[in-house]
Structure 1
Amino acid sequence: MWWKNPKRSKFGKWLDREGITQKDFANHSKISMATMWRLCTDKEYVPGAMVLKKVMKTIRTIDGSKKAHDFFDI
């Protein structure tokens, strides 16, 4: 079952809790599905500055209190 996937990152788990699909988030934030997959499954992945900016801008439309360090080890 996908929601019990031990390889989910903090970001992936947050998406699951919020009920947001990877495809919807990727489309809204204008990032590729390959990057989206990596954000959701690779616990050690830290996106580059441009991707991080797009992701955090989209996250803040959902929850304005979230910070990058809530999801990534920066």
Structure 2
Amino acid sequence: MSLGLNKPRSKLGKWLDRRGIKQDWLIKTSEVNKQTISSVCNDGGYIPSGNTMQKIIKALREVDPSVKADQFWDL
């Protein structure tokens, strides 16, 4: 079993992977549901709603205060 190796990842998914951050952390910290976090981490074409995007960026700024939404999504 490959345990998710070689699976497609979005810019956000790759960002989390490089830092060793699990999706579960983002789910808990952002208070965004598991399905949405899965979509934003694995589907490069998925763009969350503005409110959801704000919650995700706020959580990511706990790790890197300079994070901006346009690093992950074409706005």
TM-score (norm 1): 0.90
The residue that corresponds to 1:34 in the other structure is 35
| Richer in helix (by share) | 1
The residue that corresponds to 1:21 in the other structure is 22
TM-score (norm 2): 0.89
Cα 1:69/1:3, change in 2 over 3 Å: farther
**Displacement after TM superposition at 1:19 (Å):** 0.7
Percent identity, please. 37
Q: Across the two proteins, how many residue pairs are aligned to each other?
A: 73
| Distance in 2, Cα, partners of 1:3 & 1:73 | 26
Cα 1:46/1:27, change in 2 over 3 Å: same
- Would you say the 8 A contact 1:22–1:36 is kept in 2? yes
Task: Give 1:1-74 correspondences, 5 Å limit.
Answer: 1=2, 2-5=4-7, 7-74=8-75
Structure 2 unaligned segments of length 5 or more: list them: none
* Runs of 4+ residues over 4 Å off in structure 1: none
**Displacement after TM superposition at 1:59 (Å):** 0.9
